[in-house]
Amino acid sequence: MYKVVAPPDLLLVKPTTRKEESVIILTTKEEMPTEGTVISVGCNIDDAWLSQDIIFKKFGNQAFKFNGVDYLAVKTEDVIANIVKV
């Protein structure tokens, strides 16, 4: 069995779309999500990022697929905000 682990200076994010407060419509196949949940952090990054729902910059992130699941490698400086339910 294999699992995906983030490189030392990156967050590994599983892209998501929220349906409660907003509707996101992707108009092209190439359009990338800008929200996701952090599922792994690199060894140089604080574990406090784990399981955080975040909004990140649209461009500059590396997308890949592993075992049929889409992932993004995101730099911490590309994170715009944390999503917190109130």
Q: Could you give the CA distance from residue 50 to residue 12 in angstroms, rounded to a whole number?
A: 9
Q: What are phi and psi of 63, to 5 degrees?
A: -95, 145
Note if the pTM is more than 0.95: no
Query: What domains can you pick out in the chain, each with its CATH number?
Result: 11-83 (2.30.33.40)
Quote the pLDDT of residue 32.
59
Q: Is the model's pLDDT at 29 over the cut of 90?
A: no
On whether the CB atoms of residues 54 and 82 are closer than 8 A, the answer is yes
Q: Could you give the CA distance from residue 73 to residue 71 in angstroms, rounded to a whole number?
A: 7
